[in-house]
Chain A
Amino acid sequence: MNAHALLTRLRGQLPLLVTAVLLVSMFSVGSVQYDGFFSGQVVLNLLIDNAFLLVVAVGMTFVVLTGGIDLSVGAVVALSTMVSAWLVEQHGWPPLLVIPLVLLMGTAGGWLMGWIIHVFEIQPFIVTLAGMFLARGLCYTISVESISITDPQYTATAQTRIPLGDLFVSPSALIALLVVAAGFVVLHYTRFGRNVYALGGSEQSALLMGLPVQRTKTTVYAISGFCSALGGVLLTFYMLSGYGLHAVGLELDAIAAVVIGGTLLTGGSGYLLGTLLGVLVLGLIQTVISFQGTLSSWWTRIVIGALLFVFIVLQRLITARRR
């Protein structure tokens, strides 16, 4: 009886386990194959280079858990870099004013999309698609060219290295980890988090149970908008420029990370830490390909596609057996 219960529990976490095993084996193979791969700095670089993706993927996890999808994240990231660069460089606004403003803008945009999705019962996919068009278009109305940032506060933050023994991390990586921790607590230890899972499980039932469906749904998209804007701020530090073509296709990477992290795309089941693993797997693919040296960058896309395929089929098998 107990063994059976344990087995069912394990089956639910199978995608997560597969991802963890994949991560460890990829790292081991890399360490055996390439010189200098087995080092703490390679792991920390994963976090440094993918900090913005991690933040965006955390927001995406919330949305996917409710059974929705947010295609606007990449465009909102680009718009955030653009607005930051525009206000700081061409209008001389202080960064401490610009950053909260950008975060507020992202949150408000996400909230508005969530409101339209819920109130008018339009598919999340098409509403966030319109959001994506709008955000990318707004980037180009600011400027078609890239705006580089020379503000001393920005460059100082971009170059800061926080020492960790012999190793170092960037402030962005720490912020990303903080976001993951905050997301973990909210999702797994608060009433709002349980509402998110309930909504993803069955919206009808959540409504009948008297859960605040509208508030939960709009908040989830607002969180995703906030995370995208924060991702944009981190990307501004990383790139030190604002450009309408930044983060093209980031929405696909974020969705891939969430899926590989074991969150069901139909909603209602998944873990935030899985998303962290998913982002690390995506980062590790790029690291391996750059260490290999002979493989071209487009192999990244193909491998991510293949992984997506495997995990989606795995998800179908699990949910089919559970029924």
Chain B
Amino acid sequence: MSTATAASPVKAVTRSRLFWPAVVLAVLLVANLAFTPDFLAVRLQGGHLYGSLIDILHFGAPLILVSLGMTLVIATGGIDLSVGSTVAISGALACLHISESTDPGGLATVLTAVGIALGTALVLGAVNGLLVAKAGVQPIIATLILMVAGRGVAQLITDGQIITVTSDPYKLIGGGYWLTMPFAILLSALVVVATVLLTRSTALGLLLESVGGNPVASRLVGIRAMRLVALVYVFSALCAALAGLMVSSNVSAADGNNAGLWIELDAILAVVLGGTSLNGGRFSIGGTVLGALIIQTLSTTVYTIGIPPETTLVFKAFVVITVCLIQSPVFRAKLAARGARTRRTARPHAAAPTNREVGA
């Protein structure tokens, strides 16, 4: 008994949902030290912070935002494939407005551009939300429509060209510095903190989890599931639009074809890595942020080591399938059964998988 109590603080740490993602991230960062000894160094130069860690946070900021929206969508048992297209559309709209205005450097122009991008995202998210919540279309299919059409729309907006803009206030969003930190990091941190407060300090998070866990039961206890589900798609689209502004602002250009390409897959990967189950019902925003940072660190590592960046896809494939297998109750039951058999202990019924499906 005494050993159990002594081990409990350690156990509490290892049992935490953030433990394994944090370990993976730490291992990746330490592994980088072997290739670049000053990897963890952060230095102040000309009032700006520089270093690989800052770079990871800086370039990971759009992915963190998109993954954040995706986390809430997945918590309700849905999925949003259209975020990549939304990233492209919002960047294209903002850059188009700035490039056509008479005063591209003006604060009013930039604010209007941001407003246009976010407003459009609101509409796109609402369409997704209505299709899923009101029309009852499977989320993967409903958002597939925008995923297919969205890139066409983005190219229509930019007329197939890459629109370049020169505007200092717009450059700030994704490429500028504020209080020695890249502004993008501060912006995404702000959104993450606000979302954590909103979901964990109010009942909103609990309601989202109950809708994802069992839609029928939550409707029966009087939760307005439809409105909540529609809302998370709007939130996801807004996050994606903000990420789109960052991406286009960082390079001062909008590319309808390549902006946000595959970001939906990276975002889903980040959410899964962070320990949020794809079946819905529970979510961890901290885990998602760690997941997004793992992916960004992986990309950075691949670049610094000099492996062709395209082959990261192979790593990602194995990561996805491993994480999903670990999350699968059947797989765990089989593993437990095998472990029990080798240890010759009699445990015939190792956690039979329960069917959570409830009618309708």
Contacts and interface: CB of A to CB of B under 8 A. Distances in A.
Interface residues of A, number: 45
List the 10 closest A-B pairs by CB distance, nearest first: A305-B149, A301-B152, A137-B313, A137-B314, A140-B310, A134-B317, A133-B317, A302-B152, A298-B155, A130-B320
B146 interface: yes
Interface stretch (B10-18, B136-144, B171-179, B287-295): B136-144
Interface residues of chain B: helix, strand, loop or mixed (majority) = helix
A117 to B, nearest CB: 10
14 contacts: A120-B325, A122-B324, A122-B325, A125-B79, A131-B317, A133-B313, A298-B155, A298-B156, A298-B160, A300-B152, A301-B149, A304-B148, A313-B137, A320-B136
Interface of A: 69, 116, 119-123, 125-127, 129-134, 136-138, 140-141, 144, 244, 249, 252, 255-256, 259, 265-266, 296, 298-302, 304-306, 308-309, 312-313, 316, 320
Interface in B142-181: 142, 144-153, 155-156, 159-160
A309 B145 contact: yes
B265 interface: yes
Interface string B220-264: 000000000000000000000000000000000000100000000
Given A298-B256, A308-B149, 15 more contacts: A116-B325, A119-B330, A129-B320, A130-B320, A133-B265, A137-B310, A137-B316, A298-B151, A298-B152, A301-B149, A302-B149, A304-B148, A308-B144, A309-B149, A313-B137
Interface string B315-345: 1111011001100111100000000000000
B353 interface: yes
Interface of B: 79, 131, 135-138, 140-142, 144-153, 155-156, 159-160, 256, 265, 268, 272, 278-279, 308, 310-318, 320-321, 324-325, 328-331, 353
Contact of B330 (A121, A249, A299, A309): A121
A247 to B, nearest CB: 15
Given A122-B324, A266-B138, A300-B152, A133 B160 contact: no
Contacts of B149: 301-302, 304-306, 308-309
A116 B146 CA distance: 29
A306 B149 CA distance: 7
Most buried by A among B159, B279, B310: B310
